[in-house]
Amino acid sequence: MSERKLRILVAKPGLDGHDRGAKVVARALRDAGMEVIYTGLHQTPEMVANAAIQEDVDVVGLSIMSGAHNHLVPAITRLLKDKGAGDIPVMLGGIIPQVDMDAMKEAGVHAVFTPGTTLAELVDSVRKAAEAKRAAETR
C-alpha cells in the first residue's frame, strides 16, 4: 500500500484579494506530487485553523499581501495550538517586511517566503517540513 500524499493547506486569510501567487504556489506543490487544499480568499483565522484540522494537513501555507500578517498569523498559530494542532508547521509567503521577520518566527512561523523565492526552494522547504512532521508523528 502506498503512503498517503503530503497534504498542504494554502490559505488567504484576511481581506487580501490578491490570490495569483497562492494559486501559482498551489499548482507547484501539486506538480511536485502533494495534495493541496486551497481555501480561497477572505478566510478568517478560525476558518484557516478549522480547515487545517478537518483536512488533516501536514503544512499550512499562508499567503498575505495586505500587510495584516502581524495580526492574522499569531491568531492562526494560537488557534492551531489551542485546538491541539500546534505541531502543524505554518509557512508564510507574501510581502513581509524584514523588520517583521522575528515577530513571525516568535508567532510560530516555520519559514517565511518573500518575493524572489523560487518555486523550487519553496517546494523543497514545504516537503521537508511536512516530512519532518510525519516522522515526528511516528515516534
Residue 139 lies inside a defined structural domain of this protein: no
pLDDT of residue 11: 98
pLDDT top residue among 18 and 88: 88
* For residues 47-69, average pLDDT: 97
- CB distance 113 to 92 below 8 Å: yes
Residue 46 lies in a domain: yes
Q: What is the pTM of this model?
A: 0.96
* Rounded mean pLDDT, 54-83: 97
pLDDT in tens, 78-109: 999 999 999 999 999 999 999 999 999 999 99
Assigned domain for 48 exists:
yes
Residue 137 CA to its chain's centroid (Å) = 19
Query: Given its phi and psi angles, is residue 38 left (phi above 0), alpha (psi -120 to 50 degrees) or beta?
Result: beta
> What range defines the domain where residue 46 resides?
7-134
The pLDDT, as a whole number, for residue 16 is: 86
Asked if residues 51 and 37 have their Cβ atoms less than 8 Å apart, the reply is yes
**Residue 7 CB coordination number (10 Å):** 16
- Looking at residue 2, what is its pLDDT? 53
Q: How many domains does the chain have?
A: 1
* Contact present, 59 and 108 (Cβ < 8 Å): no
Q: Is residue 1 part of a domain?
A: no
- The predicted model gives 56-70 an average pLDDT of 96
Q: CA 53, CA 71: separation in Å to the nearest integer? A: 21
Q: Tell me the average pLDDT of the chain.
A: 96
- Where residue 80 sits, what CATH number does that domain have? 3.40.50.280
Query: Do residues 136 and 128 lie in contact, with contact meaning Cβ atoms separated by under 8 Å?
Result: no
- Residue 65 located in a structural domain: yes
